[in-house]
Each structure stands twice: as structure tokens, then as C-alpha cells.
Amino acid sequence: MNPMTRIYVFLLGLAVLIFVINMVRTRRLQERYALLWLLAGLVLAIAPLFANQLDRLATAMGFDYAPALLLMLAVIGLLLMIFQISLNITSQSEHLKVLTQELGLLRQEVEALAEAKAKAKVETEARVEPDELRQGDEEGAA
Amino acid sequence: MSTEAAARYLIIMPAHNEAENLPRVLPEMRVAAPGFDLLVVNDGSNDRTAAVAASMGATVVSLPVNLGYGAAVQTGFRYAVIHGYDLGVVMDADGQHDPAGIHGLVAAVAGGGADVAVGSRFRGRMDYHQPWVKRLGMKVFAWTASRITGRTVTDPTSGFQAFNRDAMRFFARDNYPVDYPDADTLLILHYAGFRVVEVPVTMRERMSGISRMHSGLKPIYYVGKMWLAIAMVLLRQKTHLSAQRVVSA
């Protein structure tokens, strides 16, 4: 790896780390979803420091083209991240389903209660009215 | 929940944009099944489904967003469990299910001989044409379900079904598919120890609007998903602890 390329990749990794850490700091990214991204940034930042060792490892593993090892690791990392998101979507859609159902059921109950209350109020008013009239008569008589 | 009181029956009707069909379907149902309470689960409709259903005397539970058929039916099960219903009949709001079939379904479950009764158009009558691809698909799933349960299943796709309290409680929890209940649901019931019977019913052409599964790539997605669902039921049935029948005291 060319020394300049190493510096670029190192800086890119550093930038990713700073960006992700800042996102977590400002609470726009939760810690549990930040871990894989931090790992990715770390790998980017560290890989150029060990480029020669990586080259040798790749050759030892039978890669004709050494960067292919890096690409493969990158793809595996990306797949892991996407899978984590899929898991998350599943649990979130389950939560949303239950919440939506509960919301619908509760709203129905609230409306039924409100209706019953309104009805009861009308009934008590209808009952109270004659009493009040009588009271008024008594007062008038007194 | 008191057992002395008369048994309470609930009709559960999931409805998505059915404002045009309800004025015909609901009165017909009232005549066929007087004494049943009616719940319309408005599944995030864009039209006046909720208002129309309420104006016709139905109890309406409105889901603020569209969740899909299965989730809407499950909402109905939850309602039935909360309000202590003894029996629930699920039927479509588009007029496809002839309400005359309600009695056969209810009789099968209320008699105690079964926990779930499935209305079968292939044992009863089907007054409409179906594309052969769909027929074939249904046959394959019916055959699969029959082989696994050891009982003849002719109409696994039927959305015209009756459930007793145990079955509703079971599905109110987490065992009900979100989109379309099919052969997988029957297998879940089978492995959980519920007794399922088929009862002949009549299914007609839907009155208006578009059916749920006729467009584009949906059938392909559906068939693939159904095989996966069936395979998962088979894999899960030995390990999934919540998938056991709980008998109400």
C-alpha cells in the first residue's frame, strides 16, 4: 500500500470514528447501534498501520489479490450491519402492531365511556329538573 | 367471567376501505345472525368505513394505520377476549361470505365438538370464477395441510371461521400471522392441540372494490412466504412454548 493511501484510509477511519462518537454524544444514535459502526471506523483506521501484515495474511490464506481479503471483510461487516437492522425492523414492527391495536381498542373504550357518561348526564338532568322546579315552588310559597 | 349468563357471540369483521360494501353486508348479516354483537375493525381505511359501520349500529375499533388483514383480525380477538365473548365469527366485509353460513360455523363450535370451525367453499358452494393458478395454489396448500394434520383440509385460505374462547385467547397473544392466515394457521392450531373442523359455506363474488391478492408479484411473494411460514411452524412446534393450548377455567 502506498504511504499516501495509508494516510487517507487512516484519516477516513478517524473521521468515521469521530462522526459516530459525535452522533452518540448528541443522542442521535443509540450506543447499541453505534458499536458496529465504531468497529468499522476502527478497522479503517488500523488497517493501514498493518497493511504489510494484512498482505501476508491474505497470501497465506490463498488470496491471489490481497485487497480482496479486505473487501471480503468489509462485505461481511456490511451484511452484519444490515442484518442487525432487519432484526430491529422485525421487533419494531411487532411493537408497532401491538401499540396500534391497543390504541384502537382503547379509543373505542374511551368513546364508549364518553358516550355512556353523556347519556347518564342527560338522564340525571332529566331527573333533577322536576325536583328543582318543586324546590322553586316551595321557595315561592314560602 | 360468568358462565350463568347467556353465551355471547361476536362477529369480527376486518374492513379496509369497505364503505361501499358495508351498507349491503351489515343489514344482510343482521338478518342472518340476530343476537350477535358486531365488531368492525377498521384497518386504517381512507374512506368512510368507520362512520358507515358506526351509523349501522356496529361497534367500531379503528386502527390509526393500516396493519394488514391478520393484525386486524387479531385486534378483533383481543376485543373479544377483553369483553369476555364466548365465541367469535370472523368474516369478510366485502360480501363474499354468505352470512347464512354463520349458523353452521357457530353450531360446530358452540356444540363443543371443535375449537375452530373453518368455512369451506369447496365443501359448500363457490359462486364465482377463480383463476386456475389460484385454484392450484390453494389445492397444494390444502394437500399439505391435510397431510400434516391427518385430516382433510379443503379450504385453508378461508377467512370465514368461528373460534371459541380458548382459540381466540390463543390467537390474541402472539400466534397469529400479521398478513394472511392460511395453511400455517391451521398447522399452528393443530400442533397446539386445538380441534379444527371444516363446515360447508357459500362464497360469492365480492360486491365492489378490489380483492386483496390479484395484482402483480403479490401471488409469487405470497406463495414463497407461505412455504416459509409452514416450514417455520413445523420447526417451531417442538420448541415454541407459548404455542400451547391454554384451556380456560
pLDDT confidence band for B7 (50 / 70 / 90): confident
Q: For residue B99, give the nearest of B47, B45, B34, B42 by alpha carbon.
A: B34
pLDDT confidence band for B221 (50 / 70 / 90): confident
| B-contacting residues in A 93-132 (Cβ below 8 Å) | 93, 97, 100-101, 103-105, 107-108, 112
pLDDT confidence band for B110 (50 / 70 / 90): very high
State the DSSP code for B174.
T
Q: Do residues B82 and B12 touch, judged by C-beta distance below 8 A?
A: no
Give which of A89, A97, A99 to mutate to test B binding, by max B Cβ within 10 Å. Answer: A97
Looking up cell 411487532, which residue turns up? A94
Measured between alpha carbons, how far is residue B228 from residues A87, A110, B78, B232 in Å?
A: 17, 40, 26, 6
Q: Do A100 and B63 touch (CB under 8 A)?
A: yes
The partner residue sitting opposite A108, judged by closest CB among B60, B67, B71, is B60
Residues of A in contact with B62 (CB under 8 A): 104, 107-108
pLDDT digits (tens, 9 = 90+) for A5-47: 888 889 999 999 999 999 999 999 988 888 888 988 898 888 8
Q: Directed axis angle between helix A67-141 and helix A31-46, to 10°?
A: 160
Alpha-carbon distance A60 to B203, whole Å?
68
Euclidean distance between the first and the last CA atom of chain B, given in angstroms as a whole number: 10
Alpha-carbon distance B92 to B15, whole Å?
7
Alpha-carbon distance B196 to B154, whole Å?
12
Q: Do residues B122 and B200 touch, judged by C-beta distance below 8 A?
A: no
Q: For residue A85, give the nearest of A16, A13, A30 by alpha carbon.
A: A30
Q: Do B63 and A108 touch (CB under 8 A)?
A: no
Q: Do A104 and B71 touch (CB under 8 A)?
A: no
| Average pLDDT, integer, range B61-85 | 95
For the record, the C-alpha cell of B77 comes out as 380477538
pLDDT score for B2 = 44
State the DSSP code for B127.
-
B202, containing H or E segment? strand B196-203
For the record, the C-alpha cell of B131 comes out as 383463476
Measured between alpha carbons, how far is residue A87 from residues A32, A84, A92, A95, B243 in Å?
A: 13, 5, 9, 13, 22
> How close is the nearest chain B Cα to the Cα of A90, in Å?
12
Q: For residue B60, give the nearest of B69, B51, B68 by alpha carbon.
A: B51
Q: Give me the count of residues in chain B.
A: 249
pLDDT score for A40 = 85
Q: Do B67 and A100 touch (CB under 8 A)?
A: yes
Q: What is the pTM of this model?
A: 0.81
- Position with higher pLDDT, B125 vs A93: A93
- Position with higher pLDDT, B133 vs B41: B41
B186, containing H or E segment? helix B183-191
Could you give the strand order of the β-sheet that contains B196-203, starting from the edge strand earlier in sequence?
A: B59-63, B37-43, B9-15, B87-90, B161-164, B116-126, B196-203
- Alpha carbon of residue A65 to chain centroid: 39
